[in-house]
Amino acid sequence: MGVRIVGGGLAGSEAAWQAAASGARVTLYEMRPVRPTAVHKTDRLAELVCSNSFRGDKLDNAVGLLKEEMRRLGSLVMRAAEASRVPAGAALAVDRERFADIITRTLDDHPLVTIVREEIASIPASSGDEPVIVATGPLTSDALSADLASLVGQGHLYFYDAISPIVLAETIDMSKVFRQSRWGRSLRRGLVEVDLGRPVQGGASSAPTSEPAGPACGVDDGQGDYLNCPLTREEYERFYDGLVTAESATVHDFDKERFFEGCLPIEVMAHRGRDTLRFGPMKPVGLVDPRTGREPYAAVQLRQDNLAGDHFSLVGFQTQIKWADQARVLRLIPGLENAEFVRFGMVHRNTYVNGPTVLADTWQVRTRPSLFFAGQMSGVEGYVESAASGLLAGLNAAAMTRGEPVSTPPRTTAIGALSYYVSHANPAHYEPSNITFGIMQPLERAPKGKKLRNEALSARALADLDAWLVLRPIRQAQGRQEHERTRDNARPELVEGRAER
């Protein structure tokens, strides 16, 4: 009996700690150093592959709130980060070696944790007594990726991240853009209906109404409610010249593979010909600029990116241009002259599942509740978010071994909002997300001003998390009693997980 975890990165290490700290035996499988990845450099657990920053650490930003919640939930990643902190202003940055050393040593020394250095090529068998957490990250090994694809369906597993830039709505010049769907097609057809109430086996929330998963890269499928930036011929030429002379970001070794044709960076398309973009993501067909009554020469479409409506992504604008140049070139688009970017475009190797299709908000696989996914491969983005998902998967997997109910903090918390986003976002346009206030449940009465609003969201989140923590032992005890009562009466084939592979 115990929890098996595949992948000793940020998510897997946090999951191992949480499960062991709540008394479960843990076996943690990590393939390094036996099989290296293209970006990890050491054999340590929780190695930070790029930046040494865990981003903002104040409660007026969402990742600062997420970190505070993780501290309250006893996070090992947060504890190791504090102990290896380096000066970085309002951000939490760490000495990466010390950080990974602390995590590795802590788990190595833990009497309930066994670390096995081995590549796991297929998803291990799981059951209610022995749940499995897969947390193999963006660079999941090829063999395991193939097995994952057969479990979740080829169309729900992505291998590249094609991230378009996201712009802050209040910085778009609305006098230059117009709201319209291509061909005037109906709005909202593709949106998910969310049902918060119905539990599924294992205590998870119900599945959203499934829409077929769309392509990894956004294209206008006529389903959205778009803001359109129209370009004249002169504006298009100016943008094109800026784009083809912009500096591209360094390409990692693993990125040297060919891009999927449907996910080409805009600069790669632009180099194919002066008009290629006008027949691709900048095509104007089906759009009529109300100010001229005509189809523009070219157009850039912006799609609402969060529930709050304050973030818009540039449709089909995945790019590897360096961030400073990216801002300069994108500001050549009419309406975006003063745009502030919440996130820049990127293309990199990234194995992740279509969260809303595959996962419940407890990080359980909907079709197999004794199997959990966590970390970047579960469809979140970022070190902190990966660790946060591992934290909940670890707590829930351990609860399952004791016959207790699985649960997730409310959507008003950052960690609950992240769980909700991954399991309930629109699957047709699913993209991994960092935590932002935009994916949290809005306040009923929000104070004026962004800083005050964010602080109020944080205050509510921490109060709600504390209340959830107080009630958790009571729910656990009730779950244990219920489990004891029903266990002897249950037909063996209906006991959770028994029939699973």
Ligand X SMILES: Cc1cc2nc3c(=O)[nH]c(=O)nc-3n(C[C@H](O)[C@H](O)[C@H](O)COP(=O)(O)OP(=O)(O)OC[C@H]3O[C@@H](n4cnc5c(N)ncnc54)[C@H](O)[C@@H]3O)c2cc1C
CB of 333 or CB of 435, closer to ligand X: 435
Q: How far apart are CA 7 and CA 393, in angstroms?
A: 13
Nearer to ligand X, 226 or 352 (CB): 352
Is residue 497 part of the contact set for ligand X (CB under 6 A)? no
**In Å, how far are 18, 57, 176, 376, 379 from 77, measured between CA atoms?**
10, 14, 46, 15, 19
One of 2, 12, 345, 356 touching ligand X (CB under 6 A): 12
Specify which residues 348 forms β-bridges with. Answer: 161
Burial of 183 (0-12, 13-18, 19+ CB in 10 A): exposed
Shortest distance in whole angstroms from residue 409 CB to ligand X: 20
C-alpha–C-alpha distance, residues 18 and 361, integer Å: 18
Task: Compute the Cα dihedral for 359, 146, 377, 495 and give only its sign.
Answer: positive
Binding positions for ligand X, 49-88, rule CB under 6 A: 49-51
| Cβ closest to ligand X, residue 389 vs residue 441 | 389
Among 19, 24, 27, 30, binds ligand X (CB under 6 A): 30
Show contacts with ligand X in window 103-122 (CB under 6 A): 119-120
Residue positions counted in the chain? 501
Query: Can you tell me which of 27, 136, 164, 396 binds ligand X, judged by CB under 6 A?
Result: 136
The residue to which tokens 């009419």 are assigned:
334
Determine which residue in the list 140, 164, 205, 412 makes contact with ligand X, applying CB under 6 A: 140
Convert residues 363-392 into a mask of x (bound to ligand X by CB under 6 A) and - (unbound): ------------xxx----xx--x------
Options 135-143, 301-309, 322-330, 401-409: segment touching ligand X (CB under 6 A): 135-143
Tell the smallest beta-carbon distance from residue 480 to ligand X (Å).
30
Alpha carbon distance 446, 228 (integer Å) = 29
How far apart are the C-alpha atoms of 14 and 113, rounded to whole Å? 12
Taking CB under 6 A as the criterion, the residue among 19, 31, 398, 399 binding ligand X is 31
Is residue 389 within 8 Å of 7, Cβ to Cβ? Answer: no
| Amino acid at position 18, single letter | Q
Residue from 2, 3, 4, 9 binding ligand X (CB under 6 A): 9
Nearest 5°: CA angle at 224, between 223 and 225? Answer: 140
- 395-414 positions binding ligand X, by CB under 6 A: none
- Among the candidate windows 1-9, 234-242, 417-425, 479-487, which touches ligand X by CB under 6 A? 1-9
Tokens read off for 298: 């070219």
Build a one-symbol-per-residue string for 246-275: x at contacts with ligand X by CB under 6 A, - elsewhere.
------x-----------------------
The closest of 398, 397, 299, 339 to 166, measured between CA atoms, is 339
Distance between CA atoms of residues 52 and 40, nearest Å: 13
Residue with the CB atom nearest ligand X in the bound state:
9
Binding site for ligand X (CB under 6 A): 6-12, 29-32, 37, 39-40, 49-51, 119-120, 135-141, 144, 252, 348, 375-377, 382-383, 386
